[in-house]
Structure formats: C-alpha cells, structure tokens
C-alpha cells in the first residue's frame, strides 16, 4: 500500500507515530521500514529522520532490513528462560537452518527474540506474527513450523 495513504489515516500528532510505523511495516513486502518511507513519516510527523530512526532502533518490533513473511519471536524474559526458552531457540535454529535475526532463503521465516509476550503462565512462549504459542516442546515447535510451511504451499 502507498505510504502516503497510510500516513493520512493518522492525525500528525507524535503519539500516533508508533502505530503509523507498525501500519507501514505491516503493509511493506518484507515486513520492514524502508528509508524512503521513514523520510515520509518524518515529514508527516514534523520530525527529523534521525529522531525517527531513534524510535525505530529503540523498539525491537521494527526492522530496517527485509524479513520473512512469518516473524518468529522467542520470549527471553526470565519466566520463559527458566522454562527452556534457550532450547526453543536452538530447536528453531536447527529446524529453519538459520541463526538468530536471520531469514530463511525462501523468505518465509525470520527468527528473533523478544521480551515478555504477556503469556508467562504458558512458558516457554513464542509468537509467529501476532499469534502466541505457549507450553512449547520439540513436537509442538515442529508442528507449528510445518503448519506455516503448508500454509505457504496452500494446503
């Protein structure tokens, strides 16, 4: 979608900046924020590009490089860490054949970490885009990845 159209959905108050950036990122192929689009957002919100870049770099949900269709975020906060988040990350690295913050060659998955996703009772937890998955174990992780691979193939 055209970035100018997205920006017009928002009043130019800075309090709307984060939501507007999410909107732009979600509507950009590769799930990221391009420099040209950040310049447009800076103009729209009457900010400098370096101020906008500061915001983007502060929040781990934003990326300035292209990512996969599905962004997997493994919670690394203490309750999940204690319940084996490290193993979850290892399983995902093996299954996907990528390292942390990398994207699979087919551009399907990007692997990231995050702080608490608000589902600590379900630790260890990860999200795929906006869907939360808890009580993870090897079998469950394999099935989740299989589900998204099949979805891509249109099964």
CB of 52 to ligand FES, least distance (A): 29
CB of 14 to ligand FES, least distance (A): 29
Residue closest to 5 by CA, chosen among 44, 31, 46, 36: 44
Q: What whole-number distance in Å separates Cα of residue 24 and Cα of residue 129?
A: 15
Check residue 128 for interaction with ligand FES (CB under 6 A).
no
Q: Tell which one of 77, 87, 104, 113 touches ligand FES (CB under 6 A).
A: 77
For residue 124, cis peptide bond before it (omega within 30 degrees of 0): yes
- Please identify, using beta-carbon distances, which residue of 56 and 119 lies nearer to ligand FES: 119
Choose the binding region for ligand FES from 27-35, 36-44, 89-97, 113-121 (rule: CB under 6 A).
Answer: 113-121
How far, CA to CA in Å, does 11 sit from each of 18, 40, 45, 51? 12, 14, 9, 18
Residues near ligand FES, by CB under 6 A: 75, 77, 79-80, 116-120, 123, 125
């Amino acid at each position: 979608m055209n970035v100018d159209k997205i920006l017009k959905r928002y009043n130019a108050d800075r309090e709307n900046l984060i939501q507007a950036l999410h909107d732009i990122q979600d509507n950009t192929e590769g799930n990221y924020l391009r420099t040209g689009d950040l310049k447009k957002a800076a103009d729209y919100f009457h900010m400098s590009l370096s101020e906008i870049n500061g915001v983007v770099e502060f929040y781990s949900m934003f990326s300035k490089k292209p990512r996969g269709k599905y962004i997997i975020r493994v919670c690394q906060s203490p309750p999940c860490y204690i319940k084996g988040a490290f193993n979850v990350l290892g399983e995902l690295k093996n299954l996907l054949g990528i390292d942390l913050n990398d994207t699979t060659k087919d551009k399907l998955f990007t692997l990231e970490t995050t702080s608490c996703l608000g589902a600590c009772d379900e630790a260890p937890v990860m999200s795929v885009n906006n869907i939360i998955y808890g009580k993870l174990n090897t079998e469950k992780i394999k099935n989740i990845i299989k589900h998204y691979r099949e979805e891509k193939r249109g099964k």
